[in-house]
């Protein structure tokens, strides 16, 4: 077989290591290329390289002396996934609920020596509420702005968007601990009911295509996920009120 050769020009300076240069090298290696790794170790070398080849960014990849372009161009050529910060995705949702389920199972095993008991479900929902609240609290300003797009109470009282994540995370912690249920359950029922009505109106009645603020990630579409989040909270609060 003919050897596959590629030349990679990337920045590797004392104050900056280009991550896309390293990713390009790894991608080429994994696809069987012999990589001639040309590092640009000073700003002068970078500027000279850009001027010589008429490019604005590095890294730059050459295969058989033909310039391919940067990391995204290489990924497209080799059929690797290309990151799109604006693409709709459910990955954050899947990751969060998977971790919540794993934590609930771990807690069940620790306490009961089994992987599942009926209480595992309530632990799962409580942990999910805490994680969802944490996601929102990472950028409270961004969440509150996105929340205004569809939440009916927040549209009437803007400060509610800043309070909601604290209520969600706090109620989840209290219900996980089985403490102050008389406070946590009614609060959860109120905010979750408002959320359910808001999502149904925005998505299923008004037919609006907007992003969900539920994970603080603007790529998750409003709809089934946010409705599920609120319905789980409603169910959890009603169950806690019932057993109380």
What average pLDDT is seen over the chain? 90
Q: Which segments of the chain have a pLDDT < 70?
A: 1-2, 82-87, 216-218, 244
Give the distance from CA 28 to its chain's centroid.
28
Strands 5-13 vs 34-40: parallel, antiparallel or unpaired:
parallel
- 56 and 102 in a common domain: no
CA distance 95 to 97: 6
**Distance (Å, whole) CA 220 – CA 87:** 9
- pLDDT (tens digit, 9 = 90+) per residue, 153-211? 999 999 999 999 999 999 999 999 989 999 999 999 999 999 999 999 998 899 888 77
CATH number (domain holding residue 24): 3.40.30.10
Q: Are residues 104 and 66 in the same domain?
A: no
Of 170, 138, 145, whose CA–CA distance to 160 is shortest? 145
What is residue 90's predicted lDDT score, i.e. its pLDDT? Answer: 77
Distance (Å, whole) CA 130 – CA 195: 17
Q: Where is the domain boundary, 44, 78, 112?
A: 78
Question: Quick one: which of 235, 139, 122 has its CA closest to 174?
Answer: 122
* Cis, bond preceding 99 (omega within 30 deg of 0): no
237 and 116 in a common domain? yes
Q: Long-range contacts for 155-160 (Cβ within 8 Å, ≥24 apart)?
A: none
Residue 96 sits in the same domain as residue 72: no
pLDDT of residue 121: 92
Shared domain check, 152 and 54? no
Q: Are 208 and 239 members of one domain?
A: yes
Query: Could you list the residue range(s) of the whole structural domain that residue 24 is in?
Result: 5-78
Question: Domain for residue 83, yes or no?
Answer: no
For tokens 């805490």, the residue is 130
> Is the domain of 193 the same as that of 104?
yes
- Distant-in-sequence, close-in-space partners of 22: CB < 8 Å, separation ≥ 6: 10
Together in a domain, 209 and 138: yes
In a domain, 180, yes or no: yes
- Is 85 domain-assigned? no
For residue 181, being part of any structural domain is answered with: yes
Same domain for 96 and 57 = no
Whether 51 and 107 share a structural domain: no
**CB distance 82 to 76 below 8 Å:** yes
What pTM was estimated for this model as a whole? 0.79
Under a CB-based contact definition with an 8 Å cutoff, are residues 190 and 183 in contact? no
């Amino acid at each position: 077989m003919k050897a596959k050769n590629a030349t990679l020009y990337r920045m590797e300076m004392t104050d900056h290591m280009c991550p896309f240069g390293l990713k390009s090298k790894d991608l080429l290696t994994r696809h069987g290329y012999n990589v001639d790794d040309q590092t640009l170790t000073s700003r002068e070398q970078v500027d000279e390289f850009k001027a010589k080849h008429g490019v604005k960014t590095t890294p730059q990849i050459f295969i058989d002396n033909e310039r391919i372009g940067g990391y995204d161009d290489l990924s497209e050529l080799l059929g690797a996934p290309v990151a799109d910060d604006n693409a709709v995705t459910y990955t954050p949702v899947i990751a969060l609920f998977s971790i919540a389920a794993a934590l609930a199972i771990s807690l069940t095993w620790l306490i009961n020596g089994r992987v599942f008991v009926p209480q595992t479900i309530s632990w799962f929902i409580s942990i999910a509420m805490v994680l969802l609240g944490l996601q929102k609290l990472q950028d409270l300003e961004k969440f509150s702005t996105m929340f205004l797009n569809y939440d009916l109470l927040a549209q009437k009282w803007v400060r509610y968007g800043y309070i909601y994540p604290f209520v969600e995370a706090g109620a989840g912690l209290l219900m996980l601990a089985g403490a102050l249920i008389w406070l946590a359950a009614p609060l959860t029922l109120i905010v979750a009911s408002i959320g359910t009505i808001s999502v149904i109106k925005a998505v299923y009645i008004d037919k609006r295509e907007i992003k969900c603020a539920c994970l603080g990630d603007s790529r998750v579409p409003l709809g089934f996920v946010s409705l599920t989040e609120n319905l789980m909270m409603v169910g959890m609060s009603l169950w806690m009120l019932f057993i109380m």
